[in-house]
């Protein structure tokens, strides 16, 4: 028997994208037809990107392009205070988690700061190496002495579980009392997250869901 469908309202939204740190900024970019891709910042890859950009004649151990979607200026935008997690702990999180905390808080603000006791989160999170995971690998390969000389920060213990823990840290930081988990459905991850969030709302398990996806791979 088919269960009747109850309409679902989108009551809040937020985003963090290259060249657009809010839905209004994204809409402006779309209206203006702007290309939000750009060259890799000189400090992004740990060396000058020009040193590893190849050509058809010189392609061994080289990359074909330095263009990508790079979020700039987030640390100046992000406020680590105000979550249900100590601000010093938040500062040590991987950028992936900070992005989620920021967007989750902004979406809830846009929704009018609703009661979150029956709210949950479903997040698409592809299992790419994150910034903190890459730094952990570098420290492992170099050893502590060389890593300290290179000013590589120690890895936060939570970075070992980035595939799923991000949603739980989001729920903890925002005081969500409902289910919270990550999923990986490749390029469909955000759509699957929204679909499953709608299912939870239809089931009556929750009154509010945060749904979306994050891509913060270290490249």
- 63 is a domain residue: no
In a domain, 194, yes or no: yes
Please say if the pLDDT value at position 3 is more than 90: no
Of 179, 176, 64, the residue nearest 115 (C-alpha): 176
Instruction: For residue 178, give its domain range.
Output: 116-214
Model confidence at 103: pLDDT above 70: yes
Q: Number of folded domains in the chain?
A: 1
Contacts of 10 (CB under 8 A, 6+ apart): none
Residue 186 within a domain: yes
78 in a structural domain: no
For residue range 174-201, list pLDDT tens digits in order.
999 999 999 999 999 999 999 999 999 9
Going by C-alpha positions, the residue among 188, 81, 167 that lies closest to residue 119 is: 167
Residue 217 has pLDDT above 80, yes or no: no
Highest-pLDDT range among 51-55, 125-129, 164-168, 199-203: 199-203
User: Residue 14 domain-assigned?
Assistant: no
pLDDT digits (tens, 9 = 90+) for 123-143: 998 766 677 777 777 777 777
Vertex 120: Cα angle to 109 and 174 (nearest 5): 45
CATH number at residue 197: 3.40.47.10
At residue 218, does pLDDT exceed 70?
no
Mean pLDDT over each residue of the chain, to the nearest integer: 87
What span, in angstroms and rounded, lies between the C-alpha atoms of 154 and 147? 9
Residue 29 within a domain? no
pLDDT tens digits, 114-126:
999 999 999 998 7
What is the mean predicted confidence (pLDDT) over 59-86?
Answer: 90
Query: Is 191 among the domain residues?
Result: yes
Helical residues (DSSP H) of the chain, grouped into ranges:
23-32, 74-77, 87-91, 95-110, 131-149, 162-174, 189-203
pLDDT of residue 57: 75
- How far from 146 is each of 74, 135, 219, CA to CA, in Å? 29, 13, 22
**Residue 203's pLDDT is what?**
92
> Exposed e or buried b for every residue in 6-43, given b needs 16+ CB within 10 A?
eeeeeebebbbeebbbbeeebeebeeeeeeeeeebeee
* CA–CA–CA angle 183, 186, 190 (5° rounding): 60
Q: How far is CA 106 from the centre of its chain?
A: 14
What mean pLDDT is predicted for residues 87-95?
91
| Residue 54: pLDDT over 90 | no
pLDDT of 33 above 70: yes
Cα 66 to Cα 51: distance, rounded to the nearest angstrom: 11
pLDDT at residue 127, rounded to an integer:
67
Q: Does a structural domain hold residue 180?
A: yes
pLDDT of residue 157: 63
């Amino acid at each position: 028997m088919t269960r009747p469908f109850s309409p679902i309202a989108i009551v809040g939204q937020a985003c963090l994208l290259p060249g657009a740190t809010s839905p209004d900024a994204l809409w402006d970019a779309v209206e203006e037809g702007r290309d939000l891709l750009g060259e890799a910042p000189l400090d992004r890859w740990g060396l000058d990107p020009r040193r590893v950009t190849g050509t058809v004649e010189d392609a061994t151990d080289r990359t074909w392009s330095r263009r990508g979607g790079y979020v700039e200026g987030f640390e100046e935008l992000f406020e680590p205070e105000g979550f249900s997690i100590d601000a010093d702990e938040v500062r040590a999180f991987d950028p992936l988690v900070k992005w989620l905390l920021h967007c989750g808080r902004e979406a809830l603000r846009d929704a009018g700061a609703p009661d979150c006791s029956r709210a949950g989160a479903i997040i698409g999170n592809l299992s790419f190496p994150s910034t903190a995971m890459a730094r952990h690998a570098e420290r492992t390969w170099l050893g502590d002495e060389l890593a300290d000389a290179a000013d590589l920060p120690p890895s936060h213990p939570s970075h070992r579980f980035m595939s799923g823990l991000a949603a739980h840290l989001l729920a903890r930081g925002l005081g969500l009392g409902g289910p919270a988990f990550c999923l990986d459905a490749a390029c469909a991850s955000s759509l699957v997250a929204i679909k499953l969030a709608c299912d939870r709302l239809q089931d009556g398990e929750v009154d509010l869901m945060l749904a979306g996806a994050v891509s913060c791979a270290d490249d």
